[in-house]
Structure formats: C-alpha cells, structure tokens
Amino acid sequence: MDADAVEFVILGVAQDGGVPHAGCSCQRCIAALADPNLRRNPVACGVRGADGSLHLIEASRSLSEQLAIWSSALWLDAGLRPDTVCLTHAHLGHIDGLGQFGIEVMGMGGVPLFASSSVIDVVVKRGLSSPFVCCAVEPGVGFRPSEDCGFEYVFVPVPHRDEEADTHAVVVRGPNSSVLFLPDHDDWEQTLELHGADGIREWLSQLGVGIALLDGTFWDASELPGRDISQIPHPMITDTLKRLGERKEDDPVVLFVHMNHSNPVLDSTSKEAHKVDELGWSVAEQSSVLRL
C-alpha cells in the first residue's frame, strides 16, 4: 500500500434482506442457497485509511462475511476488526449487525460510531450502543474518523422514509478522489430539489465526486407483482438511466448498489444489466476496491 493510499472496498451490494432473501422461493434465492458464489450481502463498505486504520460504513447482519471480504480484498489479517463505524440511517439492514460488536460476539468496546443524532437515538433506544462511543455528525461538515486516516466523511441529507430517524448519503473524500455512497433515498425529484440541483450530473458536480454508488433497489415498477411498490419508495434504475442517458467522457463513474433480490441486474447476463453497461454505467460488484 502506498503511504498515502486510501482504499474503499464494496462489502455488499444487496438491499437489506440480501440474497438469498428470507421467506423467498424465487429462482435467484433458491440458486443462492445452493451456491455461495451467488449470494450477495446487504450493502456496506469498508475504508482503509492511509495509516492502516479500518472504517466500516453500515453494519449488516452479514458482518462476518463482510469482514472476510474486506480482509481478502486488501490482504489483511483474517481477524480484521473495524476501528470505527458509520451509519447512513436506522433501517434494519444497515444497523442489525451492531450487536455483533458486543460481548456476545466480538467483545469490543469504545468503538467510535458516527451517525446523525436521530440515528444515534434509535441505536440507544434499541440497546445497541454499549460497544460504542456515539458521535453525532452535523450534515455538510467534513470530519476525519481518525486523526491520520487521510480522508474525511461528509454527511449529505436525503429524503427516505424517516419514520424513526433521518437519512444521509456519505461522501468519502480521499487525497486523490471522492466517492458518494447513496444506498437509499425516496426519489430523484425530492433529493435534487432538496439540494437545488436540476439533474443528477449537476448534483454530483456540486458534491465534487468522481465516483457515485447510487440506490439501485428496483429495476422498474413492475418488479414485485402483487405488491404496491410505491410503499417501498426508491428511485427505479430505469428512471436514473433516463435522467443520466449515455455516459460522457468527463462524467463520474456510477455504480448501482442496494439491489433487491428481485432486481434482474443482479444477473450480469440479463438484458437489464447489459442496458446499464451499454449506457456506460455499471452494477457494483462485491469485493471491488476503489482507490481514493
């Protein structure tokens, strides 16, 4: 590793339930039960700082598998333990791994946990805070999760089913590049209006990011027959592609994450995945490493 290198690893690409999805007998979930190579973890990322410190974004129930992916991707010790944790919001798949830091599993203590004050309130209310030192984050204000890590986080508010707590995207600013981690928001209209941007490109330019991990939960509104998909608000990939069109040479790299088990882009041979590729964008792959 270069002395000033910051490395961002994608530890999961699926929606909160992962693949296979609990209670599901679809072809993709059945296949994933039989073949570990087809399994996908709930969305999460890991950042290794320039000083070797380790910083987890989201804490899913697949924590053990994700720590193994992280250690393998960066050739780290198999007993990897994060130095800090950062949370975007309080929905199930993003926080249900917090308990594994406690005495029942890793037995850690004093781990800095960065989140909005309302998310911290939920963590405390649910009795998940004992392994952590909870640090409330102010949106729009950059901060380093550890002194010599060589990167900073910036929390960016986004609208998303805020029943108990608010939701933020996270910009990770490294020494050479920055990445936006936006696994969840309700729709582009509200998000762009909130930030005074006329389009996705304009907003990404305002944020100064070269890479964007965007909410790709559903391909389109027909994906869940018999269910009202409007009750699970997320922008459709088809809508995002319509807004973006074809990638231009100076555009940021866009990677879709947080795919529901029903999303056809999880199959790289599908016509939907090919459509994403043809337009110059990508579907994120578990264990990918981005150098910032």
pLDDT tens-digit profile of 23-35? Answer: 999 999 999 999 9
- Residue by residue, DSSP assigns 203-218 as HHHHHT-SEEEEE--B
Q: How confident is the model over 233-292, as pLDDT tens digits?
A: 899 999 999 999 999 999 999 999 999 999 999 999 999 999 999 999 999 999 999 999
Among 193, 215, 218, CA closest to 203: 193
- Assess if residue 153 is contained within a domain: yes
Please report whether residue 103 resides in a domain: yes
Contact 24, 122 (CB under 8 A): no
Peptide bond into 20 cis (omega under 30): yes
Identify the CATH number of the domain in which residue 273 sits.
Answer: 3.60.15.10
Do 50 and 56 contact (CB within 8 A), yes or no? no
Q: Above 80 in pLDDT, residue 228?
A: no
Contact by Cβ (8 Å): 115, 155? no
- pTM confidence score: 0.96
Instruction: State how many domains the chain has.
Output: 1
Segment 190-207 mean pLDDT? 98
- Alpha-helical segments (H) within 76-145: 92-95, 117-125
The answer as to whether 2 is a domain residue is: no
Residue 284 belongs to some domain of the structure: yes
Residue 161 has what pLDDT?
A: 86
Cα 279 from chain centroid? 22
Position 249 in a domain: yes
Q: Check if the beta carbon of residue 18 is closer than 8 Å to that of residue 39.
A: yes
Distance CA 180, CA 143 (A): 15
* Contact status, residue 284 vs residue 257, Cβ threshold 8 Å: yes
Q: What is the pLDDT confidence band of residue 2, given thresholds at 50, 70 and 90? A: low
Structural domain span for residue 226: 7-291
